[in-house]
Structure formats: structure tokens, C-alpha cells
Amino acid sequence: MEDLSDREMERYLQENLACKCFCDMHLGEKAPDHSYFGDFRKRLGTERLMDIFSQVRNSLRGMGLMREIFTFVDASQLISKLTTWDDGDRAIKQGLEQFNNETAGKVAATSARVTDAQGFRHVCPNGGGVYADKGYSLNPAKTALQRKGCHDATIKKNDLKEKNRDKDRWLSEIRAPYERVFARRNKKIRYRGLMKVQFQVGIRALVFNLKRLMTLGVDRITLCHT
């Protein structure tokens, strides 16, 4: 959430009293070496992280805080700080706070070669209406929607026979507030490599949902330890 490198995290945890308190450390306790955080990511792994994310999501559903009735889907191009970074270009600070009253249901990172329609299967909900832009109006996204029994509320491309401009204008108005949220999210990532990026976007979504629980005053969720 603070966009810290591992070395910055070591120093932040050593010097910031609020961070020490949050991590249940004593005031005089020494912060872990920066290598600890990288080792922890390797031990946890992407699959285990996403399993935790799914368990938190299931807890949200069990408490009635998440329903797959209306799902808004969009994709963002992520840029690695290791290859492109302009010190004068500051990412918009609102980040996850822009979601306000929402929760993150699913998140996935794919190669830039994967189209929106191809990557949709990773985040397709189990039913309900799916609102998405033109990139999701083609196969294989259409197939995934049908397989999961979802209502197709995607905006159609101009060359499709089922194109209804009046309907699509209405869908665009429905999507507009959420699309602005996606557009304002921080697109800079710290790592290079698909697995590392998946870990970063996964843990960002997990932390967002946990923050959302705190906002709602929920102080306990159930996780299955494996």
C-alpha cells in the first residue's frame, strides 16, 4: 500500500512506530533484514496467496458483503518500474481508496499478449450480470459468460450484428463511474515477470478487501489453514 521496496520496507519498519505497532513488534525490536520479505514471497507463492484471497472472498460472501449480481470487469496495462520510471510522473494517490463501497471479487495478471477476451476466464463470476467494454464482447469471453450462466451486459463492437447503440449508450452510463476508478488506479508495478506481478496484484486486492472489512467494522473472518 505504501509502494515500498524491500530495502525501504526494512527501514520503514525500523523507524515508523505505527508500522511497528501494526506488525505487533516491540519498540526496541529490530526490523527483519530486507531479504526476509523476498524469501517470504517465495515461500508463500502465488497459488497459496490466491487461495487466501479466495477464502477472504468466501468470508465476504458468507457475511452477505459480496454478491455476484452485478460484476464490473476491466483490464489495466501494467508498467514495470524496472523498465519505465519517470521521477516526475507521480502515480495518482487515490489508488484503492477510489473503490469506496466496493470489494474486489477476482484479480489476475496475464501477459500483454493475452487479449481482454482471452484473459476474461480468470475473473468471470459464477452468474449474475457482467458489465464490460467492447474487448469482452468477443470469444472466448462470450463462451465463458455462457458457461458460467452470466447475463451478457458487455458493450458490443460496431461490426457485430447484435449491436444496439441505444442499449450500449445506457450500458456505458452504467459503467462510467467504475471505469473512471479503473483508469485512476496505479499502473506502475515494482517487479518484472508474470508470477511476481500476479503476486503483487493479488496481494494488493487482498489488502484492499481486508481494509474494506475494517471500514465496515468487521473484526473477524474465518480462514481454513492448510
- Domain span at residue 11 reads 1-33
pLDDT of residue 163: 94
Q: What is the pLDDT of residue 96?
A: 37
pLDDT at residue 177 above 70? yes
| Lowest-pLDDT choice from 11-15, 34-38, 83-87 | 83-87
Is 87 a member of any domain? yes
Is 139 among the domain residues?
Answer: yes
Alpha-helix residue ranges (DSSP H) falling in the chain: 6-15, 17-22, 35-62, 116-119, 141-147, 165-184, 194-215
- Do the Cβ atoms of 188 and 91 come closer than 8 Å? yes
Residue 40 inside a domain? The answer is no
* Residues 99 and 26 occupy one common structural domain: no
Average pLDDT (36-50) is 89
Q: Residue 225 corresponds to which amino acid?
A: H
Total domain count, the chain: 2
Question: Do 15 and 79 fall within a single domain?
Answer: no
> So what's the pLDDT on residue 69?
81
- CA dist., res. 138 & res. 140, Å (int): 6
What rounded mean pLDDT belongs to the chain? Answer: 78
Mean pLDDT of 52-63: 85
Nearby residues of 117 by Cβ (< 8 Å), 6 or more positions away: 135, 136, 137, 138, 139, 140, 141, 142
Does residue 123 share a domain with residue 22? no
Judge if 57 and 156 occupy the same domain.
yes
Same domain, 139 and 208: yes
Distance of alpha carbon 100 from alpha carbon 57, whole angstroms? 17
Residues 16 and 65 in one domain: no
Residues 17 and 72 grouped into a single domain: no
**Same domain, residue pair 52 and 112:** yes
Task: Verify that 139 and 190 share a domain, yes or no.
Answer: yes
Whole-angstrom Cα distance, residue 111 to residue 75? 12
Calculate what percentage of the chain has a pLDDT beyond 70.
76
Same domain for 21 and 49: no
Residue 121 lies in a domain: yes
Structural domain includes residue 64? yes
Helix, coil or strand: residue 1: coil
223, part of any domain: no
Q: Cell digits for 81?
A: 518500474
Is 38 a domain residue?
no
* 72 closest CA partner among 118, 142, 136, 165: 136
The Cα-based distances of 166 to 149, 154, 215 in angstroms read 24, 13, 38
Whole-prediction pTM: 0.61
Residue 120, C-alpha cell as written in the block: 476474461
Same domain, 17 and 103: no
Q: Are residues 137 and 198 in the same domain?
A: yes
Laid out side by side, the sheet with 128-132 consists of 70-72, 128-132, 150-154
